[in-house]
C-alpha cells in the first residue's frame, strides 16, 4: 500500500477513534477529572508508543509541538467535554481548527488563501457566533473552551507541518516524545481539580482512552498530516464532529437543538469549504 493510501486509512481510523471519543470521555469524566484524564493519556499513551518505537525522537521542535498539540490541547478538550451540555458540541468547536488555520496560513506558511476559502471562513464564523448565542442562556463555558481548543490546535498543526515534518523523524518515536514530554504541562493544571474513582468500568474506559484514543489516534493523525499535508488531512478530519454527533446521540440519547444543529452544520460546512479550497 502506498504512503498516500496509508495516509487515507490512517485518517479514517483517527476519525472513527476521535469521533466516538467525545461521548466515551464524557462517561469517563464521571470517574476521573479532566486534568487527571489528560495526564493519564499523555503519560501512558506516550509510554505505549515509546515501547513500540523502542526510542524517542527528541528535540526542541518536537517538544514545542507536543506542548501545543497534545499537552495544552488535551486539557482544553477534556474541560470542554466536561463543561458542555452535549459532548458533540465540544467536538464541533474543537473542529473550528481549519477556519483559524486558513486565516493564519498566508502569514505562517506563505501560501495563498482563495476567496472561496475566505467565504468558508465567514460561514464557519457565523456558525460559531450562532452556536455561542444558542448556548448563552445556559452559560455554557464548555463551548468557549472548545473554541479556544480549536485555535490552539490550529497553531499546533501549522507549527508541526512547518517545523517538525521537514525533520524527517520517525513518526512513532516523535509522537511518543511529544506525548510524554507534555505531561508536566498537563500536571501544572492540577489546581483545576484532580480525582479518580476506580471501578471495573472506569478502568476499562481509561485503558481504552489512553491506548486507543491517545496513542492510536494521535499516531494516525500525524501520519495523515505527514502523508497528505495539513490542508487535505484537515478537510477529511471534518467528518469527526459528525461521527461525534451520531455517537453521542446513540450513547446518551442526546441530540443538538434545531438552532445548535444549524450552527454546527454552518461551522462544519465552512471548515470543509476552507479545506477543499
Average per-residue pLDDT for the chain? 86
Q: Is the pLDDT of residue 139 over 60?
A: no
Which pLDDT belongs to residue 135? 65
Give whole-number Cα distances, 202 to 25, 32, 249, in Å: 10, 8, 21
Half-sphere exposure at residue 229, Cβ-oriented, CA atoms within 13 angstroms? 9
Give the span between the Cα atoms of 238 and 11, in whole angstroms. 11
Residues 221-276 pLDDT 10s: 878 878 887 667 877 787 888 888 888 888 888 777 888 888 888 888 888 888 77
Task: Report which of 73, 204, 75, 210 is spatially closest to residue 150, judged by C-alpha positions.
Answer: 73
Residue 151 confidence class, pLDDT cut points 50, 70, 90: very high
Which pLDDT belongs to residue 52? 87
Which helix (H) or strand (E) element contains residue 156? helix 141-159
What residues contact 5, with CB distance under 8 A and at least 6 apart? Answer: none
Residue 131 confidence class, pLDDT cut points 50, 70, 90: confident
Give the span between the Cα atoms of 204 and 224, in whole angstroms. 28
Task: Phi first, then psi: give them for residue 272, nearest 5 degrees.
Answer: -65, -40
The C-alpha cell at 7 is 495516509
Mean pLDDT lowest among 85-89, 137-141, 155-159, 198-202: 137-141
pTM, to two decimals: 0.81
Which pLDDT belongs to residue 138? 60
The C-alpha cell at 141 is 463555558
Which pLDDT belongs to residue 60? 96
3-state SS assignment for residue 85: coil
- Which whole number is the average pLDDT over 14-40? 90
As a whole-number percent, the residues of the chain with pLDDT over 90 amount to 29
- Which whole number is the average pLDDT over 147-170? 91
Can you give the length of the chain in residues?
Answer: 277
Give the span between the Cα atoms of 210 and 207, in whole angstroms. 5
Amino acid at each position: 500500500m502506498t504512503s498516500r493510501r496509508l495516509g487515507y486509512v490512517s485518517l479514517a481510523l483517527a476519525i472513527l477513534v476521535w469521533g466516538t471519543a467525545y461521548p466515551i470521555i464524557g462517561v469517563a469524566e464521571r470517574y476521573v477529572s479532566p486534568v487527571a484524564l489528560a495526564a493519564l493519556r499523555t503519560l501512558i499513551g506516550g509510554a505505549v508508543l515509546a515501547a513500540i518505537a523502542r526510542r524517542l525522537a527528541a528535540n526542541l521542535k518536537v517538544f514545542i509541538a507536543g506542548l501545543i498539540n497534545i499537552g495544552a490541547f488535551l486539557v482544553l478538550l477534556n474541560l470542554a467535554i466536561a463543561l458542555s451540555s452535549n459532548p458533540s458540541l465540544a467536538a464541533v468547536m474543537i473542529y473550528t481548527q481549519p477556519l483559524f488555520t486558513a486565516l493564519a496560513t498566508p502569514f505562517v506558511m506563505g501560501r495563498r488563501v482563495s476567496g472561496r476559502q475566505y467565504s468558508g471562513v465567514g460561514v464557519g464564523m457565523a456558525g460559531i457566533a450562532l452556536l455561542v448565542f444558542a448556548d448563552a442562556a445556559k452559560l455554557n463555558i464548555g463551548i468557549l473552551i472548545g473554541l479556544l481548543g480549536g485555535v490552539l490546535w490550529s497553531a499546533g498543526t501549522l507549527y508541526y507541518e512547518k517545523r517538525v515534518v521537514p525533520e524527517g523523524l520517525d513518526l512513532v518515536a516523535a509522537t511518543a516524545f511529544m506525548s510524554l514530554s507534555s505531561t508536566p504541562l498537563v500536571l501544572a493544571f492540577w489546581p483545576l481539580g484532580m480525582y479518580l474513582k476506580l471501578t471495573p468500568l472506569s478502568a476499562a474506559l481509561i485503558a481504552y482512552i489512553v491506548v486507543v484514543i491517545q496513542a492510536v489516534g494521535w499516531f494516525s493523525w500525524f501520519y495523515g498530516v505527514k502523508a497528505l499535508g495539513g490542508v487535505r488531512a484537515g478537510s477529511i478530519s471534518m467528518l469527526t464532529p459528525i461521527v461525534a454527533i451520531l455517537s453521542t446521540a446513540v450513547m446518551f440519547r442526546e441530540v443538538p437543538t434545531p438552532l445548535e444543529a444549524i450552527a454546527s452544520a454552518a461551522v462544519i460546512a465552512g471548515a470543509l469549504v476552507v479545506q477543499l479550497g
